[in-house]
Amino acid sequence: MRYILALVAIVCLIATGITKLSVINGTRGGEVDSISSPQSDIKFCSLPYITCTDKNQIYGTITAYTCDTDCITASGLPPLEGRTVACPRSLKLRTAIDIQNIGRRYCEDRTARWVEKKYPNTYDIFVGYRMGEEAKNWGVQKGKITVL
């Protein structure tokens, strides 16, 4: 199924006059994760969830996380409410992003690999220490993420 959707994306890009394609994020198990065109502002993210967006914009899943005690992020910094977000590995650590209706955050942590594989383009916002109820109430939201 993923191959069929990838083929549809390629046909769509070629039909718009784009001939040079590059695969980003590599492949896992022979499956295409995403396709982009270096000659255009078009980017297809997280096949099979094909979304046509601006090159710096991603439509993704936004969730919340907390920790009970002192914890350290993948960047080596302690998480900070209003600053820290766990991002997919496709973004470098410490990348600045703007999350729709939330504001600027920094990729200081990583989404769990199983989450990234099962739910591509998931961004997990740190909501504070011992804030489990708030994280649960946040739920799962969809939104636009702009890479700054």
Residues 108-146 pLDDT 10s:
999 889 988 888 899 999 999 999 899 999 999 999 999
pLDDT score for 122: 92
φ, ψ of residue 33 in degrees (nearest 5): -85, -45
pLDDT score for 116: 86
Q: Are residues 62 and 132 in the same domain?
A: yes
Which pLDDT band, with edges at 50, 70 and 90, does 32 fall under? very low
Q: Are residues 49 and 63 in the same domain?
A: no
C-alpha angle 46/109/106, rounded to 5°? 85
How many domains is the chain partitioned into structurally?
2
Residues 55-100 pLDDT 10s:
688 899 999 999 988 899 999 999 999 999 999 998 999 999 999 9
Domain that holds residue 11: 2-53
Q: Are residues 7 and 72 in the same domain?
A: no
CATH number at residue 73: 2.40.40.10
* Reported pTM: 0.62
Which pLDDT band, with edges at 50, 70 and 90, does 23 fall under? very low
